[in-house]
Each structure stands twice: as structure tokens, then as C-alpha cells.
Structure 1
Amino acid sequence: MSTIHWTEMSTPRSAHWHSESATPPPGRVIGADDRMKADAAYRLACEDGALLWRGDFHNARQLLQALGRRIDRKPSRQGGSPAESFHLHRRARGHRARVLGRLLVLLEGDYCLNLRRAPDVRRACVEAYGPPSEPTAVSLTELLGVIGAHQWRTKGVEVPALGARIHPHYGVFSPVRGEYVDLVAQAPFPAPAAARAGRRTAFDLGTGTGVLAAVLARRGIDHVVATDISPRALACAHENVRRLHLTGHIDIVGPGLYPPGRADLVVCNPPWIPARPTSAVEQGVYDPGSSMLRDFLHGLTAHLEPGGEGWLILSDLAERLGLRTRDELLDDIKAAGLHVVGRTDTRPRHPRARDTADPLHSARSAEVTSLWRLASAQRSAHVQAVADVLPLTCAGQGTADPQHRSP
């Protein structure tokens, strides 16, 4: 672990440094309390210094807000293209996170926050960081995220498709965007092969909270195997499956993408934006180089039972931002030996789609989220060969339009 050093009452001190976004420890740290002026704090933070707060907790939060207002005074640059606007927006958010992240607090060896009017953060920190060990310095913004995650974990998120709540853990993407859950809750299942009629199996890749695995089990899938590369997500999914009394139908395995074997249905909701995440929770949104998307596509045929389907849940926001084209997606599908059986689209319902102050509002307001039904191209060729020898009155019946759009 990295270490930070500072002087307090003429005594040199040090503590471990922790950052979920892998921010290196600041080289210059000074103690600060309620006497610190916002302008002085802002100058220090912009010069890569850091403030270790030793005053009142609520005053620290007010100072954080004051720093944010000073950041916002500088007009943001506007890009000429959607892609340039996106990268400028990410750069501005990164700058904001770096400046605000220079206000630090010290967690004692038991995660106690020894500040006036500070809340008891010990349970929230154990949930996020694991068992305590030694005094550790973290940014106040990170700690506030830990506190917020604890509240979400305690309260849960209502999922209408389940008629129940899902309880997200710290660092695990929360299912607050219900449209993708509804797509999985409503899409028609592929017909099981005759030898396995009556028993359906499914894989849920990148399960996160386990919400889609739970939806599949509640819809009647007999056995769901859910995977993730994140230990936090695996623990979160385990807890949610237990809460929902679905342990007899869902197995959580990992870390990894594909489990061994084959399934009638393979579902994947990869991160939608091909860009680098800057924190643990952003890994549910950003996928550098679309690596998870491509790994899903290129591993699918080897993990599908005969007659099975892969469901890809993907937003077109990356396309509207100029970060990926529809042709690139279709080329990847074809290169993986897959065929589009059908597609169902829906519009986002989250508040950001209606936020006209958002620099990316134009793209967000037009965003479409789709469930792509994919099958092995060999299966499609076999189906077509059978159709070619059927009477003309039967040929083509029951096929799906790959360009189907829901209302």
C-alpha cells in the first residue's frame, strides 16, 4: 500500500493511502480545519497538493461544495463533433474529480472517522473495503460514495420486473436503468431442443447484482449460471440470489466471463461505452476497446446448445457519440459466426435523457437500447435449407425480422 506523510503540531505523521480510482498518493499534504478558506484550498488542490481535514465534518462537505463551484466557474470547451464533445466532457469530469479528490480524511484503524459531527462510517467502510487494519487516508469524495453505497445496499432498488428489491454493493453497477431489465423480462425464449424439452438452461455473463439472472429464473429458466470478473459483483449476486430465495435455480461462478459447458440461452449486458473507466463502479459503463462485447460474441457459438440464442443488451449511445459504428457492431457479429434472429428496441427512461444542461444531451435524448437475439450462422443456414424444401405455403413462416422494433 502507498503512504502519505504530513506534519501535525510539529510531529511528522503518516498513514496508508487508498484510492478506488488508483489515484497515486499526493506528494504534498497539509493539515486543514475550519479556518481554511475555499480560495486557498482551491489553489492548493489545483497545484496537486492535498488537504487532510481535521475540523468539522459538515464544514468539510461545505468546503467540497465551494471547490466544486470554483471549478464550474471556468467555462467548459465545446467539441465540434459528438466524439470530441464526449472526450472533452470526460476530461472535464476527470479534472473535477482530481481537484475534489484532494480533500482527504483519515480513517482510524477501526474505520472510525474522528471528526466533529462525523457519522459512524465503520459498517459502510467494512462493506466497501473489507476488515479494518491500520489508519488509512481516503478522499472525502470517495468516502461519501462509500456512505451512499451503504444506503443503497440497505434500502435496495425496486425492480418492477421482479416485484422485489435488488441490493447493490459498493463498486457494483446498480440496476437503476430499468429498460434493459424489462427487455430481458419480455423477450421470447428460444424453443429448447427436443432432447432437453422441459428443462431450460441459461448463462448470465457479467451478472453484476444478479438482477438479470433473477429475472430469468423467475421467468421459468430451470438453471441459470451467472458469472462476473469482479469479486465484489460475485459477492453481491450471491447475496441477492439468497434474498430472493433462488439459490436452487442460480449458481454464481467466477471470476470469469464464460462458465464451462453450453446453455439454451446466453445473456450479456456488457458496458456500453468503449472508453477507459476511472473507478470501480465505472467498469459497469465503460469497456475499453469493446473487449467484453467482443469476447462475448466470439465465445458464443461454442457455448450455445443446438437451437440456442445469445441475447446482447446494448445501447446505441456509443454510436451516437461517434465511438463505434453500427457497421462495426454488425461486422463483429458476422465475424463471430453469428446471425441476427431479431431485435427489440426501447427508449431510456432515466432523468439524464431529459437533462438539457447535460453536454451530451443530444446523444442521450436520442439513445435507443436494444436486445439483439443472436444465433449461430450454421443454425440459420440449416433452418434456411429446411425452408427451401418445404411447400411454398409454409416457407418463411415463423421467421423473425432482424430489424423489428418495439413500439
Structure 2
Amino acid sequence: MNPLSTKDGGRRWLTTVGTKMPRTVVAVDDRVTADEAFRLAASGTGLAWYGDFPGARNLLAALSRRCGTAAGKPFQEQRNQRSRRARILGRLLVPLDPGHVLPLRRGPDVREACTEVYGPSETASLVSLRELLGVVGAHEWRVKGVEIPALGARIHPHHGVFSPVRGEYVDLVARTPLPTKELAFDIGTGTGVLAAVLARRGVERVVATDNEPRALACARENFERLGCTGTETLEADVFPPGRAPLIVCNPPWLPARAHTPLERAVYDPGSRMLKAFLDRLPRHLEPGGEAWLILSDLAELLGLRRREELLDAFERSGLEVLGREDIRPRHRRADAKEVTSLWRLTTRAAPVPD
């Protein structure tokens, strides 16, 4: 093991998750033991791998085993341990030559996948192997797509945009009776899957918002693939200007801190998006219109939120519940007790004066 040479030490750091390049980076190859690699990574040292590519993957797996398991621990302890695990595994690095060429023996061609995420590159760089594998995997999902039965077609997620692999929330939007076919807002659209379902159901105009440019680019590409001519995208924190007779929102389900951009689709500290949606909803929902709020009760099962807190939030925002559609998740990793609900909300009518 040796410190990186001046040439290699000048490599540009690539990341999509905001992590900083380790202050100390040493060059390693197949001669490093897993125990020594773990000791270095756990202490904050980056390991730039210069062996063959399968050896890098084997070392990553060995480091993962040494991180232990968080299974069976309380939720916050699980999150803390997974965060530490991500930091340690993220310190196994691989080099990329100009043009995102992976110079390791038996390494895959990662040029297209990296260009989609990082843009063109004319300089040498270093990237976490764990992140690189995620980038390659996301590229494969983007090419292959995810089959959506409610659409009879595939949605193609981009890197960093939550994939609709849990389809039960899509089924809820596909089966709940529409209050209108004139206009709908889809808040936090992500891949655009819910907006596409509304358009396929005959809603003439759907405005899809998100605060992530990569999500909006993903949604636009999916709308074009599907021929959803009545859909449009808008970068917004929550709502677009104006009112609509139907507003759909599938916010992050768990009020906890996200560790990566992708996790922001699931974790939302203090339920910021949920609260913003409910607080501002009366100003954007047409009188007599419906808002469809889609939430799993997983936060309640984990003790992160009580059902009463959600109902109190409806009350404070001047909303009443018209009805609720429930569905059990089909995903193999879902909690057996979990229920996903579509809450049909409307603004509470003002009292008639005497």
C-alpha cells in the first residue's frame, strides 16, 4: 500500500451524494487483506483499487460482511449503523480515465452510464466503487424500464429518481374514481408515473411538479415515450401556481433524515413535504375538488408517527376526509402488516352564518 502518486492524487472526485473525497487515499490491489482494508476504511482512509475489477467487487463484499447487520435493532439504531456502513463501503474507490474509461482488468464499459450521471469528462477521476455500481445498475434500469400494469407499459427511471418498483400506490391512483378529467396536479412527480396514469385515464391536462431537475427530466422522457401529450412539468417546491379540481401527492413516507438524494423519496425529516402539502393545499384545491394523499402506515408501525398526528394535521389545515382506499403492498421487502392508503381529502365547507 502506498499513497497515491502526484498524477493519481490529482484525479477529480466524482459523487452524486455530496460525500467528500477522503483526505488520505492509498493505492491497493489484490495483495491487501480484507481485515487490513476494513481497518483503514473504518479509520477514514480511502482505498484506491488498482487490481482487477472482480477483485474490487470481492473486497467490497468482504468489507460489507465485516460491517455487521442492523437487523432486529430499533429503527434509529438501524439507520445509524447503515449510515456508518455506507461511509465505510464508500471508501473503496476505483479510478476512471478521461472519458469515464474504467482502466481495471476485466472491468465493464461504464462510459455511457457515467456520462448520463456525471456528464462528459476529459479528466481522470476517482469514484466510490459502491456508487459506480449504483450508477451502472441505474443505467440498466433506465434502459430496461419497470413494467407498470396500470399503464400497460414501462416507466424508465433515471439515476437518483425513485423507481416505482412498489406498484401498489400506482394501483390506488389507477382504480380510485376520478372526480374530474379537466385538470390535475401531480405533486412530487418523480418518474412521472402517477401523472402518466392520470393522463391514460383521460385527464386532459396534468401539471407535474418536482424540486429535483433530474426527476423532471426523467418525467419528461417518460411522458414522451408514452405519448402523454396533455402532461407538463414544472420545477416547484410543492405546488404550481393556481388551483386544480384534483391534486395528487405521494410524499416521502418516513419522517427521518435521508442519507442520499435517492432516499429523499422515502425519508423526509420532520415530514416537511407532507406538512407543506397539507398546509398549502386549501389555497390550491378548487372548491369541491379532491386531493389524493398517498401514504403508507409504515411510519406508524415503526413508531415514527401516530395516526392521530396525521388526522390532527388534516384538521388544522381545514381538510376533511371524503374516504380512504387501502391496499396491501406486494413487494417482497414490505412489512407484512403494512397498508398503503389513498386519502381522499377536500376543503372543509365554511359554516353558514345564522
Q: Normalised by the shorter chain, which TM-score bucket?
A: over 0.9
- The alignment status of 1:101 with 2:90, answered yes or no, reads yes
Contact 1:78-1:88 within 8 A present in 2 as well: no
User: Which range is displaced more, 35-44 or 206-215?
Assistant: 35-44
Q: Return the letter of the residue paired with 1:180.
A: Y
Q: Which entry has the higher C-alpha Rg, 1 or 2?
A: 1
- 1:66 offset after TM fit, Å? 1.1
Structure 1 runs, 4 residues or longer, greater than 4 Å off = 75-79
Counterparts of 1:200-215 in structure 2, within 5 Å, are 200-215=182-197
Which runs of structure 2 are paired with 1:126-165 in the superposition (5 Å)?
A: 126-165=115-154
Q: TM-score, normalised by structure 1?
A: 0.83
**Is 1:244 aligned to 2:212, yes or no?**
no
State the 1:153 CA deviation: 0.1
Alignment partners' CA distance in 2, 1:187 and 1:332? 23
Deviations 1:379-402 (Å, cap 9, x if unpaired)?
A: 7x67xx9xxxxxxxxxxxxxxxxx
Kept in 2: contact 1:50–1:103 (CA 8 A): yes
1:194-233 aligned at under 5 Å gives the runs 200-233=182-215
- AA aligned to 2:312 is D
2:80 matched to 1:91? yes
CA distance in 2, matches of 1:134, 1:13: 13
- How large is the Cα RMSD of the aligned pairs? 1.8
Residue of structure 1 equivalent to 2:264: 283
Question: Per the alignment, in what secondary structure is the counterpart of residue 290 of structure 1?
Answer: helix
| Paired letter, 1:13 | G
What pairs up with 1:160-175 in 2 under 5 angstroms?
160-175=149-164
Query: Does the alignment pair 1:374 with 2:354?
Result: no
How far 1:346 sits from its partner (Å)? 0.9
Matched ranges for 1:1-400 at <5 A: 6-8=3-5, 13-72=9-68, 76=70, 79=73, 85-190=74-179, 192=180, 200-246=182-228, 248-353=229-334, 364-378=335-349
Provide the secondary structure at the position in 1 that maps to 2:58.
Answer: helix
Deviations 1:200-219 (A, max 9, x none): 10000000000000000011
Cα offsets for 1:213-238 (capped at 9, x unmatched): 00000111110000000011000000
Identity of aligned residues (%): 58
Deviation at 1:136, TM superposition (A): 2.2
Q: For residues 72-118 of structure 1, give each alpha carbon's deviation from its aligned partner in whole angstroms, at most 9, with x where no partner exists.
A: 2xx65854xxxxx1101111111211111110012222111111111
3-state SS in 1 of match to 2:177: coil
Work out the CA distance in 1 between the residues paired with 2:117 and 2:290. Answer: 36
1:397: which partner in 2?
none
Report the CA distance between 1:7 and its aligned residue: 2.5
Distance in 1 (CA, whole Å) between partners of 2:336 and 2:189 is 27
Q: Secondary structure in 1 aligned to 2:19?
A: coil
Maintained 8 Å contact 1:28/1:49: yes
Write the distance in 2 (CA, Å) between the matches of 1:77 and 1:54.
33
> Where do 5+ consecutive residues of structure 2 fail to align?
none
2: CA distance, partners of 1:223 / 1:284: 25
Deviation per CA, 1:100-152, whole angstroms, max 9, x where unpaired? 11100122221111111111101101111222243221110000000000000
Partner letter of residue 98 of structure 2? G
Quick one: distance in 1 between partners of 2:347 and 2:7? 68
SS in 2 for 1:352: coil
Q: Matched residues in 1 for 2:71 and 2:161: separation?
A: 31
- The aligned amino acid for 2:14 is H
Q: Is the 8 A contact 1:150 1:170 kept in 2?
A: yes
Query: Structure 1: any 5+ residue segments left out of the alignment?
Result: 80-84, 193-198, 354-363, 386-407
Counterpart of 2:302, as a letter, is L
Residues 124-133 or 233-242, more deviating: 124-133
Give yes or no for contact 1:205–1:268 (8 Å, CA) kept in 2: yes
| Secondary structure of the corresponding residue to residue 10 of structure 2 | strand
Task: Give the CA deviation at 1:330.
Answer: 0.8
CA drift at 1:70: 1.8
Distance 1:51 1:144 in 2: 16
Over 3 Å counting, the alpha-carbon distance change for 1:78 and 1:352 in structure 2 is: closer
**In structure 2, C-alpha distance between the alignment counterparts of 1:23 and 1:279, rounded to whole Å:** 9
User: Given that residues 247 and 291 in structure 2 are in contact (C-alpha distance below 8 angstroms), is that contact kept between their aligned partners in structure 1?
Assistant: yes
User: 1:231·1:255 contact (CA, 8 Å) conserved in 2?
Assistant: no
* Rounded Cα–Cα distance in structure 1 between residues aligned with 2:191 and 2:349: 34
Q: Which residue of 2 aligns with 1:394?
A: none
SS state of the match for residue 378, structure 1? Answer: coil
Report which stretch shifted further, 253-262 or 166-175.
253-262
Whole-Å separation in 2 of the counterparts to 1:183 and 1:11: 55
